[in-house]
Amino acid sequence: MARYDFDLITIGAGSGGVRACRIAAGHGARVAVVEERYLGGTCVNVGCIPKKILVYASEFGAAFEEAAGFGWTVAPDHFDWGRLIANKNREIERLNGVYGELLTGSGVRIIDGRATLIDAHTVTVGEQRLSAEYLLIATGSWPVVPPIPGAEHAITSNEAFFLNGLPKSVILVGGGYIATEFAGIFHGLGVQVTQLYRGALFLRGFDHDVRAFLADEMRKRGIDLRFDTDVVAIERTGDGVRATLSNGSTLCAATIMYATGRAPNTRGMGLVEAGVKLDAEGGVVVDPYSCSSQPNIYAVGDCTNRVMLTPVAIAEGQAVAETLFNHKPTAVDYAIVPSAVFSQPSIGAVGLTEEEARTRLGEIDVYKSNFRPLRHTISGRDERAFMKLVVDRKTDRVAGCHMVGADAGEIIQGFAVALRCKATKADFDATIAVHPTAAEEFVTMRKKA
């Protein structure tokens, strides 16, 4: 008779948890996953997927305007927010079903409800009491709104995906990728947007040149960016909200949205009582193999407060399953993690920023290209693209690749492979370009900045 009900119980059916369950079951493990909200986690339901759908929707207005330069007469008549959200919801429901089929098809038992740890091997879900040799925490993260007066009047990205109507104006508070992406979404749909960030320049962690270039491009589009500015209080007004700013002024809008960070979603589930160490923000502290301070409890994804990106969570989930059930100890390599910000224009980046490279590598060479894409020489739009390579002077290896411009995320994926393969600047120079494209700039830059 088996000592435990399952070999693995995963708490959280997001990207990382689902991947771990499926791989573990494929290796013969008896697996259950507990989910209290919706299959697919943040990414599928209130993150990557619905956000990208909204980004697509917001780009059509500009495309209609640009079409005139290419001989088209296109006059946008009316944008229907309700129809967009209904179509988005339909797609998310379809994906929820796909995730369910993937799990059950792999032999994973899905348990609806909230899991609470009783000890290192046991959880309760409602009236059920279940045990497993290993527990995997994959509960993701949750938006954080600072406790200022009137904070209850603000929405977060969670609510933004389900607004009953499109506001005429919005204050976006935050300088990360979520705030910046929603600034582009709302603006592209005709909303008056003001984005506030308490620091000197948004998108901390990205290359400085990239951040400054994007700020210029967003301002050219008409987005009101205000740095070194924060909100100290919010009041409800008859037709929206009034925000009191850190400089003493006030700002009114129909809606105020906070995107000031996400915290690991780990509180109140019995982790500490089960011997699991958490960091100051509630993240599960793990070793390189995603094992917590309790030897049989693992954690992956946003709840570990490492790299909050869906593909990283997936890689971590697979690594845990390989480690535990395939006799193949696997740790995720975080050295080359590409990322994209679906701002307008978008950002793509992989490897070290110039600032990081100077600190870690010492002597470096930097190459930059700032140009007007061919499309906009005809469309008439005043938009430019920016590309940058950071090279280790000692080895000639390309240490960082950065871009601001159309399809930056699509373009940077291929260059992530190149950096992973330790490509040198000489390799880039020897690569024949695809012409005419924006991406060819990466293999034609010769002059050091």
Q: Which of 78, 153, 187, 435 is catalytic?
A: 435
Q: What is the pLDDT of residue 294?
A: 97
In a shared domain, residues 128 and 273 = yes
Same domain, yes or no, for 123 and 158? no
* In a domain? residue 331: no
Is 349 found in the same domain as 273?
A: no
For residues 160 and 183, give the distance between their C-alpha atoms in angstroms, rounded to a whole number.
12
Determine how many CB atoms are found less than 10 A away from the CB of residue 134. 25
Residue 247: give its domain's CATH number.
3.50.50.60
Residue 448 falls inside a structural domain: no
User: What pLDDT does residue 26 have?
Assistant: 97
Please check whether residue 145 lies inside any domain of the structure: no
Domain of 378: which CATH number? 3.30.390.30
* pTM across the whole model: 0.96
Domain-embedded: residue 21: yes
- Please confirm, yes or no, whether 435 is among the known catalytic residues: yes
Q: Closest Cα to residue 280, out of 259, 264, 298?
A: 264
Does residue 120 share a domain with residue 21?
yes
Q: Of the candidates 260, 279, 300, which is a domain's last residue?
A: 260
- Together in a domain, 234 and 277: no
For residue 264, whether the previous peptide bond is cis, meaning omega lies within 30 degrees of 0, is no
- Please, what is the end-to-end C-alpha distance for the chain in angstroms? 69
Please tell me the predicted confidence (pLDDT) of residue 369. Answer: 97
Residue 77 has what pLDDT?
73
- 75 is a domain residue: yes
Quick one: 124 and 27 in the same domain? yes
Judge contact between 205 and 290, C-beta under 8 A.
no
- Which of residues 236, 260, 284 is at a domain's end? 260
Domain membership of residue 357 as a residue range: 339-443
Answer yes or no: is 334 within a domain: no
Mean pLDDT by 10 residues, the chain (449 residues): 91 97 98 96 96 97 91 84 97 96 97 96 96 98 96 97 97 98 97 98 98 98 98 96 97 98 95 96 97 97 96 98 97 96 98 98 97 90 95 98 97 98 98 96 95
Output the pLDDT for position 76: 66
Q: Examine the domain organization and report whether 276 and 421 are in the same domain.
A: no
- Tell me, yes or no, whether 96 and 164 share the same domain: no
- Taking the C-alpha atoms of residue 123 and residue 134, their distance in angstroms, rounded to an integer, is 11
Whether residue 45 is contained in a domain is answered as: yes
> How far is it, in rounded angstroms, from Cα 80 to Cα 84?
7
How many structural domains is the chain composed of? Answer: 3
